[in-house]
Amino acid sequence: MESSSTAHGARLVPEGTKPVRSRPSLPLWSIVLLALVAGVAVGRFVTAGGDDVRRATPSPLAQGQSPSIASLEQRVAAEPDDLGAWQTLGGAYIGRAAEVGDPSFYALAERALARAEELAPDDPATLLGQGRLALALHRFPEALALGEQVVAALPASADALAVLVDAQVELGRYEDAEVSLQQMLDARPGLPALARTSYLRELHGDLPGAVEAMTRAESA
């Protein structure tokens, strides 16, 4: 069976190559949107998920189907100290902002995650949500710091590593991104990691490698 890393121990990008442009022309999540249009089922990327972090910080709301924003708002109104509800609501707002293109949801997400931070400072699930929000708002140094915090607490969290990889790429730290992405592939070699592999290879001008990674993502 092929390792979660590239076959036969090959690097994620060819050794000695340099990015063909100083900045990505598209944000990392866009490659997954393209995959979705092509018929690849996408469960989550930057703005949703967090399963492995939530397994480390259990919440009743992390089980079963995701509740709607309306039900979450009712939940936090009735139980204002429910940490998991605030965390889930923050993530739901981020997802809705991306879905409908309404940035006002980012302000709501920021408030929800700030409340979660008040209830449990430095909780990994809250930091992860804040990292995703920082990415969505193009606050990449902040996203990098938050990603590093979560990875320090949960080194095997693919969701935390995703935030770290995205921030590193957006800041032009491609060698660091390659290391973090390999850790993400080792933790969870699914579509989010393979899509990022494809994108990083494309940035380095390795178009055949990018296509190969996306082909693997289609069957992930």
CATH number at residue 66: 1.25.40.10
Asked whether residue 43 is assigned to any structural domain, the reply reads: yes
- Please tell me the distance from the alpha carbon of residue 15 to that of residue 106, in angstroms, as a whole number: 39
Write 212-218 long-range contacts (CB < 8 A, 24+).
214/31, 214/35, 217/35, 217/40, 217/191, 218/35, 218/38, 218/39, 218/40
| Cβ(174)–Cβ(19) below 8 Å | yes
Is 5 within the bounds of a domain? no
Let me know: does 62 contact 72? Beta carbons within 8 Å. Answer: no
Q: Which two tokens stand for residue 52?
A: 């492995």
DSSP letter (8 states) at residue 66: P
At residue 14, the pLDDT reads: 56
Distance, CA of 191 to CA of 87 (rounded, Å): 24
- 9 occurs within a structural domain: no
Q: Is residue 33 part of a domain?
A: yes
109 lies in a domain?
A: yes
Structural domain includes residue 7: no
* Domain encompassing residue 64: 20-218
pLDDT at 15: 60
Number of residues that make up the chain: 220
For position 209, what pLDDT does the model report? 81
Per-residue pLDDT of the chain (220 residues; tens, 9 = 90+): 444 545 334 456 656 555 655 444 445 445 444 544 443 333 334 434 455 655 444 443 334 445 799 999 999 999 999 999 999 999 999 999 999 999 999 999 999 999 999 999 999 999 999 999 999 999 999 999 999 999 999 999 999 999 999 999 999 999 999 999 999 999 998 899 999 999 888 888 888 888 888 888 777 6
Q: Domain total for the chain?
A: 1
13 found inside a domain: no
Amino acid type, 152: A
Cα distances (Å, whole numbers) of residue 200 to 23, 100, 112, 114: 11, 27, 33, 32
User: Cα 76 to chain center, whole Å?
Assistant: 25
The pLDDT value recorded for residue 220 is: 63
Residue 149 falls inside a structural domain? yes
Q: Is residue 28 within 8 Å of 169, Cβ to Cβ?
A: yes
The DSSP code for 6 is S
Q: What are phi and psi of 47, to 5 degrees?
A: -95, 5
